[in-house]
Amino acid sequence: MITTTNAVAALRELGTALKDLGYAFTTVTPATHARVNARPENAVARDLRDVLGWSRPGPREVLPAGLADLMDAAGVLERDGDLVRSSVRFSTYDGELYVHSAFPTTDPGSVFFGPDTYRMADAAAAHLAARERPVRRAVDIGCGTGAGAITIAKRAPGAEVLAVDINPAALRFTEVNVALAGTTGVRGCHSDLLSGVEGEFDMIVSNPPFMIDPAGRAYRDGGGPEGNELSLAVLDAAAERLAPGGSLVLFSGTGIVAGQDPLREAAAARLKDTGLSWTYREVDPDVYGEELDGEAYAHAERIAVVVLTATRP
């Protein structure tokens, strides 16, 4: 567990060493990760990516000289019989390195990074490129690894960018990731939505939990009968705190029921009297198909991931 200043510094040093080694890893969905790891030949790690990307146990000797010591200092090297494993993963996106929780992310306080992170950050970058007005102040709500905040900061030099989350582990990971990216304008803050920060924002981005999760894991469970409660709460917060010309980029997901999208319907009702103009589109119409086998999604015909943008004139 990464809890001390020294541990955070060691994790940052570990990330720097990985960048120097040219380490790269693309994180897949949990279902794909489980399938690949279940192959007999993948039972034991053979190289660095196996340990720090695929979260496989392996002999200490597969780690390059000095890395195991840094992992020890950061408190992320765990014993697994005669083998070792990492309690964190490192993934790459947009030329940057991100540390986050190891697979499987079963702990309620896990900090998730995966395909939805890539999609959210891509959507934020595309929206920022299309904006006519400059972004001077922005916030990433439920920042997790800080990927949204870092993506904005790289494209809006000089902007104040807040990365807010209620999970202390997320803020520690964000601190490391911001240092690795060199985006000095990003500041992590403990906040439930926007309750812990003040003022208006030119840009708000968020990728909140949006699944119906019977286990109630904070990083995954969106709340409410359809998993949309947090997404709608972000929408409400943005409607109150967007500056003139400010915009929200909300990446979320929803179960489609008998051809109807309950998130779109609820969002339309919330936005009706706000004065915000908005768009809504499906980024992928069919994701997390394995969830349809469970009771939580027995009523849905598919699960889609979506991007909602809302702009104040």
Domain map (residue ranges) of the chain: 5-101, 115-311
pLDDT at 3: 58
pLDDT at 219: 84
Taking the C-alpha atoms of residue 206 and residue 191, their distance in angstroms, rounded to an integer, is 13
Q: What is the pLDDT, as a whole number, of residue 213?
A: 92
User: Which pLDDT score is estimated for 92?
Assistant: 98
Contacts of 28 (CB under 8 A, 6+ apart): 36, 114, 115
Q: Write down the pLDDT at residue 5.
A: 74
- Whether 152 and 134 have beta carbons less than 8 Å apart is answered as no
Q: How far does CA 191 lie from the centroid of its chain? A: 16
Q: Is 0.85 surpassed by the pTM of this model?
A: yes
Letter for the amino acid at 213? D
- Residue 303 is predicted with a pLDDT of 98
Is residue 193 exposed (0-12), middle (13-18) or buried (19+ Cβ within 10 Å)?
buried
pLDDT of residue 217: 85
Domain 115-311, CATH class in plain words: alpha beta
pLDDT at residue 312 in the model: 97
**For the chain, what is the HEC assignment?**
CCCCHHHHHHHHHHHHHHHHHCCCCCCCCHHHHHHHHCCHHHCCCCCHHHHHCCCCCECHHHCCCCHHHHHHHHCCEEEECCEEEECEEEEEECCEEEEEECCCCCCCCCCCCCHHHHHHHHHHHHHHHHCCCCCCEEEEECCCCCHHHHHHHHHCCCCEEEEEECCHHHHHHHHHHHHHHCCCCEEEEECCCCCCCCCCEEEEEECCCCECCCCCCCCCECCCCCCCHHHHHHHHHHHHHEEEEEEEEEEEEEEEECCECHHHHHHHHHHCCCCCEEEEEEEECCCCHHHHHCHHHCCCCEEEEEEEEEECC
pLDDT per residue of the chain (313 residues) written in tens, 0 to 9? 555 678 889 999 999 999 999 999 999 999 999 999 999 999 999 999 999 999 999 999 999 989 999 999 999 999 999 999 999 999 999 999 999 999 999 888 899 999 999 999 999 999 999 999 999 999 999 999 999 999 999 999 999 999 999 999 999 999 999 999 999 999 999 999 999 999 999 999 999 999 999 988 888 999 999 999 999 999 999 999 999 999 999 999 999 999 999 999 999 999 999 999 999 999 999 999 999 999 999 999 999 999 999 999 9
Q: Are 175 and 186 in contact (CB under 8 A)?
A: no
d(CA 48, CA 210): 32
Q: Which of 147, 121, 125 is nearest to 135 (CA)?
A: 125
